[in-house]
Chains A and B, each alone.
Chain A
Amino acid sequence: MALGASVGIGAAQAPLSPPVQAWLAVQTNLQTWSADFTQTRTLQSLTEPLTATGHVWFAAPQRFRWELGRPPETIAVCSGTDLMLIYPRLKRVERIPLGGNQSGPWGEALTMLEAGFPRSEAALRSRYDVQSQTVTNQLCKLVLVPKSAAARRIMPRMEIDFDTKDYLLRGTEIQFADGSTLRNDFEHIVLNPKLDEALFSPQIPAEYKVVEPTVTR
């Protein structure tokens, strides 16, 4: 049963609810962050959801490292200027330069991976329209719609769940154009841990093949 308040829904420019404002205020103090996660992919092409576990590290403003699978099958590392997708099993690395207009769908993918850490209301609203903000059982669900049509083509909607007591990120959910969803549920969250710089500039083994996929919008 819903115990919490259900706050205004709908208008894109509606004011942010107090819990969301408080959560954003907490974000400004966040320098680093790490957590374990369980990723659930509910794909329209599959009859059953797929789950995988992994670990994520984040350093403000936009560096991150996601390791998916144990041992990692896919590693996504963003140094701020480059996004590297490392496939250890395939010994393959895809390097995508970020910035400008070159990143194409990868740029949109990147926003998905970092969307859980907006630094301010302005930063949030510059990329997303707020579709709804609801609080249920101390969990606030903030539903966002990307402003960019290119991003909407890939990801028409995303959801950020955070705890209204400690304002920690509990989960994110991305909805794809065909209705498929990708949900991350976080646990063992550590705020402002000391992170090794090497996490964001991984050494690529010599036997790995590094490619730069053709980047188009």
Chain B
Amino acid sequence: MTRPALRHPGRWIWLPLLVLIVIGLLRLRFDAEVFDLLPADLPVVEGLKLYQQHFANPRELILTLQGSDPDQVESAARRIAEGLRPFTNLVASAVWEPPWLEHPDEAAELVAYLWFNQPPDAFKALLHRFAAEQLAEEFTSARRELATALSPEQIGRLSYDPLGLTQLPGSAAGVAPSFGGGEQLFSSPRGAFRLVYVRARPELNSYRDCDNWLGRIKPLVRAALARQAGQSASSVTIGYTGRPTFVSEVAAGMKHDITTSVAGTAAVIALLFWLAHRRVVPMLWLLTLLAIILCSTLALGGLIYGTINVISTGFAAILLGLAVDYAVVHYQEALAHPGLSVPQIRHAIAPSIFWAATTTISAFLLLHLGGLPGLGQLGTLVGLGVALAACIMIFEYLPPLFPDRKEPGGAEAPLAEGARPADGAADRNVRAPGTRRMRPALIFTAALVAFSSVVLACLGLPRVDPTADALRPQHSPAYAALDQIENQLGQARRPAWLIVSGDTVGAVAERLRELQPALSQAVSNHLIESFTLSTPLWPRPEFQEANRPTARELGNAGALVGQVARTNGFAPRSLVLTERMLATWREAGASQGVFWPTNPVSRWVLDKVVARAPKSYVTIGLVDAGTNLAGLSTLAAELRPRGLRLSGWQLLGNAIFTRVRANMWRMIAPMLLLVLLSLWLAFRRMAEVALGVAVLLLSGLCLLAVMRAAGWAWNLLDMMSVPLVLGTGVDYSLFTLLALHRYHGDLAVAYKSVGRALLLCGGTAVAAFASLIWSSNAGMASLGEVCAVGIGFNMLIAVFLLPTWWWKLVGVRQYSK
């Protein structure tokens, strides 16, 4: 009887695909921004993006300097800043100490602005201070205090601010730059750790921009340090952090992931294939097709998404590990049936590949329901790749390897040696496997159950990590430097950011005013511990309008102040700050609309908390809830209806984890349904369905035990391994059980024909996921290790234990003589 065949429709079918691939390659970009991995509809993510957009300067590099001698560290910081500043094409600014300490006179503008924002009564009171008689009294008093003050700060202030104008009323007092203040922003208390802020001159939009810019800055930093070599600068350790470093690091990680993990997986595939078949040409052709599939999938990803994110680059290794299976199955079948033509083999294998691909693609597409867009993109890429791999392997893998088997032959030829059933297997019934053969499997089953149960009973289930740490790169110097800043500068308690926005300056001011009692109430209710709003720095348009006449009057007081100061023995240099403040008031008095200070010191301060666009104004406050995340979340929910976003890294982890956990059943339920359905459709018997489920349960138990023993935790990303392990793991049980039926319960033949192929396929899948352990992303690494272990257990249990279970439950009745 002639076996049916599936002919190749012709190479032209790849032409449309080729066009799409070219378009995709043209569109393809890599996205190194971690924020793009997050679900955009979460309020906390919206808040983070707003913070990132407005307040996290994308061009700011932060250098950390650590040493044992505070003097050396300070000297190194100064030298680096001074060494970078001349390179004006690269560096817009390099700041190593509070700008108002380096340029005290420039602080005058900001102080004058803060006065200008005061209620009219308070500002008008300055006129009294500037009256001729009062001025004389003020200078006399300052002179008297200068004679007896002992505090260096007080002497400094009275010397250069004899009228006490830097002492602002009310809440503004805390934000005015002070003489000698602000060092804590740049230095640890002992001074052995310091920061230098470097702002790039060029725009740093892409990761290439960041990489190139850093590549030019780092030698300059090293050169600046080298100039200090005589002062043992080598004992100062430099760290780099800030967005340019993060982006550069993530991009390098992506390159590493897509090259190293792919190369590693490809090497493992080649090795396993060689060990199984010891043939070079099929191995090389397999690797060639895998490379084509990988590039094509990447291009199609570019076509669909435009940009591929940091997590999605992990698709490459996974895809290799899965795609190779389809070629291996074809090749194994071609060797096992030397009499069949390629179209006939194709016809025999294509349906099983179709269904295997369908479950795998479904498992990966379900990642879209997990709530993490980054991982959803990875799911799409693997799904696309698997579909493409199925088509390419079905139609293109065998023809060049078996050129003489292009045309369909006649009746089926006998099975090749090695794949042929044992004597008697062709009969309906086979001899029951001996006890010696089955006992080890049963003992091993019992041992696995016992060992896993004991581990879990003694140590408990794996812990759950609800933080956003899984989204961070692993082994990241930039994050290490950031952690160092938090530890050294006493910022271990990261406050949450409260984003306040509005269409006008007045609207934001009004919101800030309304927030004050609401946040005070939250402190009283123990939802939070403290808060800081930018209210003193935010302009009050109505106050400014009312203060304009006073500002003009004060602005004209310069001559009188100078005269009275001279009379009272004050030198001209003592009035520099006062004169600059008067000039600012003169300017503010003549201005129209909202008055903003503009000099570098003012901008340095305001840029931290104020963002302006033509029709949008944004500011941030800080909210510290200590460890009370629940309180912070409650407050965030209370503020949300008012359009206020409370956000921060500690809230992010919790919010995403809650979302992912809530979505877990949306992913797992369809996957479970698919698993049960495929088992039922394949066997239509409860016994086989139960055996398939038993394999999944035992491998799940073993996975949990390994995770607990190894100290791994469930995190945002590796939780997604559950549907993947289910979707890919069930295939091993399906293939094993089908083989057992096909060979009428002959365990040995089933192992020879299918078991070894499954070990090869499973081995490549495990290698692919395991290669993610070296991923630059911490979450992907954990996802890789959990999947590798889960799939590994699935495969080993299905190949070595399942046949014995099946024989005991089904085979002994159905096939035993």
Contact = CB atoms under 8 A, between A and B. Distances in A.
B70 A41 contact: no
B571 A46 contact: yes
A180 B71 contact: no
A93 B640 CA distance: 46
A109 interface: yes
A150 B69 CA distance: 12
B150 A216 contact: no
A17 B567 CA distance: 47
Residue in B150, B152, B158, B183 whose Cβ sees the most chain A Cβ within 10 Å: B150
Contacts of A48: 569
B159 A178 contact: yes
Nearest to A215: B189
Contacts of A216: 180-184
Contact of B150 (A44, A45, A109, A176): A109
Given A73-B148, A147-B71, A46 B574 contact: yes
Interface in B128-155: 143, 146-153, 155
A108 B155 CA distance: 14
Nearest to B149: A74
A178 B179 CA distance: 13
A52 B152 CA distance: 17
Interface of chain B, helix or strand or loop or mixed?
Answer: helix
Nearest to B179: A105
B74 A154 contact: no
Interface in B148-172: 148-153, 155, 158-160, 162
B152 A68 contact: no
A45 B162 contact: yes
A203 interface: no
A217 B152 CA distance: 12
Nearest to A72: B148
A63 to B, nearest CB: 16
A47 B159 contact: no
Contacts of A217: 183-184, 187, 189, 191
Contacts of A76: 150
A72 to B, nearest CB: 9
A109 B151 contact: yes
A73 B566 CA distance: 25
Nearest to B97: A153
A106 B570 CA distance: 26
A180 B189 contact: no
A13 interface: no
Contact of A52 (B148, B158, B181): B148
Contacts of A147: 71
A50 B146 contact: yes
A94 B151 contact: yes
Please tell me the size bucket of the interface on A: 35 or more
B82 to A, nearest CB: 15
B150 A68 contact: yes
Given A44-B159, A46-B569, A149-B70, A105 B148 contact: no
A85 B147 CA distance: 15
Contacts of A102: 189
Contacts of B566: 47
Interface string A64-105: 001011000110100000000100000000100000011001
A43 B75 CA distance: 27
A149 to B, nearest CB: 4
Contacts of B615: none
B184 A47 contact: no
Interface in B514-542: none
A65 to B, nearest CB: 12
A148 interface: yes
A48 B569 CA distance: 6
B190 interface: yes
A155 to B, nearest CB: 8
Contacts of B183: 216-217
Contacts of B642: none
Contact of B191 (A41, A46, A47, A149): A149
A47 B150 contact: no
Contacts of A44: 159, 571, 573
Contacts of A109: 150-152
Given A50-B143, A148-B71, A74 B571 contact: no
Interface in B386-423: none
Contact of B152 (A66, A73, A154): A154
Interface in A99-119: 101-102, 105-106, 108-109
Looking at A44, A68, A150, A216, the one whose CB has the most chain B CB atoms below 10 A away is: A216
A46 B143 contact: yes
A207 B376 CA distance: 68
Nearest to B180: A105
Given A43-B159, A44-B573, A217-B183, A52 B70 contact: no
Nearest to B190: A101
B150 A85 contact: yes
B569 A149 contact: no
B140 to A, nearest CB: 12
Nearest to A152: B71
Given A85-B150, A101-B190, A45 B574 contact: yes
Given A105-B153, A216-B181, A149 B71 contact: yes
Interface in B288-339: none
Interface string B623-640: 000000000000000000
Contacts of B74: 149
A52 B159 contact: no
A108 B152 contact: yes
A50, A94, A217 pick with most chain B CB within 10 angstroms: A217
A51 B143 CA distance: 11
Interface string B536-577: 000000000000000000000000000000100111011000
A202 to B, nearest CB: 15
Contacts of B159: 43-46, 178, 180
A217 B162 CA distance: 23
Nearest to A105: B152
What are the 3 tightest A-B residue pairs by CB atom distance, in nearest-first order?
A: A45-B574, A45-B159, A101-B189
7 contacts: A43-B159, A45-B570, A108-B152, A149-B70, A150-B70, A216-B183, A217-B183
Given A43-B159, A50-B146, 10 more contacts: A45-B570, A52-B147, A68-B148, A102-B189, A105-B180, A109-B152, A148-B70, A148-B71, A176-B155, A180-B155
